[in-house]
Amino acid sequence: MVASHDQDCGQESQKLLEKEPKCRSDSCWSWLVCVASTIIVIIVSGIMYSFGLLLPPLMENFGASRQSTAWIGSLNLGFGYVSSPLGSLISDRFSHRVTAIVGALAGITGFSLASLSPKLWMMYPTYGLLSGFGHRMIYNACMVAIVDYFVKRLSLAVGIMASASAIGMLVITQVTQGLLDTIGWQGTLRGFAGFYLLCGLCSLVFVPVDRSNNNKGSMVADKKAEEKGDLSLLRNRPFLVLLSSFMVVNLSFYVPTVHIIKHCEQELNISGDKASMLFIYLAIASFFSRHFFCKLGEFRRHFNRFHLYQGGMTISGLCVIFLPSAASYGSVIAIFIVIGFMEGSSMGQISLLLLKCVKQSQFNQAWGYLSFFIGVTVSIGPPLAGMMADKLGSYAIPFYSAGAVLIAGASIISLMPCVKQQTDSEEEEEEVQFVKEEFLVTERITAL
DSSP letters for 96-144: HHHHHHHHHHHHHHHHHHHTT-SSGGGHIIIIIIIHHHHHHHHHHHHHH
Q: Is 298 helix (H, G, I), strand (E, B) or coil?
A: coil
Q: Give CA–CA dist 71/69, Å, rounded.
A: 5
Q: Quote the Cα angle for 223-80-20, to 5°.
A: 45
Position with higher pLDDT, 407 vs 365? 407
Q: According to the model, what pLDDT value does residue 210 have?
A: 67
Q: What are phi and psi of 209, to 5 degrees?
A: -90, 135
| Terminal Cα-to-Cα distance of the chain (whole angstroms) | 31
CA distance 251 to 313: 13
What are 206-246's pLDDT values in tens digits? 887 765 554 444 444 454 544 454 557 778 889 999 999 99
**How confident is the model at residue 436, as a pLDDT?**
47
* Burial class, 415, CB count within 10 angstroms (exposed 0-12 / middle 13-18 / buried 19+): middle
Burial class, 316, CB count within 10 angstroms (exposed 0-12 / middle 13-18 / buried 19+): buried
Q: How confident is the model at residue 9 (pLDDT cuts 50, 70, 90)?
A: low
- 331 half-sphere exposure, CB direction, 13 A CA radius: 11
Distance CA 118, CA 126 (A): 12
Q: Which residue has the higher pLDDT, 168 or 404?
A: 404
Segment 82-139, tens digit of pLDDT: 888 888 888 878 888 899 999 999 999 999 999 998 888 889 999 989 998 999 899 8
Domain over 25-208 is classified CATH 1.20.1250.20: yes
Q: What is residue 193's predicted lDDT score, i.e. its pLDDT?
A: 93
Summary mean pLDDT of the chain: 80
Identical fold, 25-208 and 233-442: yes
Tell me the per-residue pLDDT of 179-208, one tens digit each, with 9 for 90 and over: 998 998 989 999 999 999 999 999 888 887
Q: What would the DSSP string read from start to end of 398-432? A: HHHHHHHHHHHHHHGGGGGGGSPPPPHHHHHHHHH
Q: Where are the alpha helices (DSSP H) in 203-277?
A: 216-228, 231-234, 237-249, 255-267, 272-276
| 58/185 Cα distance (integer angstroms) | 8
Structure confidence at residue 360 as a pLDDT band (50, 70, 90): confident
**Nearest to residue 172, comparing CAs of 46, 278, 280, 282?**
46
Distance CA 238, CA 161 (A): 25
Closest CA to 282 of 404, 192, 382, 167: 167
pLDDT confidence tier of residue 162, bands split at 50, 70 and 90: confident
Question: Domain residues of the chain, as ranges?
Answer: 25-208, 233-442
233-442 homologous superfamily = MFS general substrate transporter like domains (1.20.1250.20)
Rounded percentage of the chain residues whose pLDDT exceeds 90: 23
- CA distances 297 to 13, 138, 181, 195, Å, are 38, 27, 42, 33
Q: What is the dihedral of CA 348, 350, 351, 354, to 10 degrees?
A: 160
Q: Are 128 and 189 in contact (CB under 8 A)?
A: no
Is residue 335 within 8 A of residue 322, CB to CB? The reply is: yes
Residues pairing with 23 in the sheet: 209
Q: Running DSSP on this structure, what letter comes out for residue 448?
A: -
Task: Give the amino acid at 94.
Answer: F
Residue 312 pLDDT exceeds 90: yes
Strand partners of residue 97: none
- Predicted pLDDT of residue 215: 46
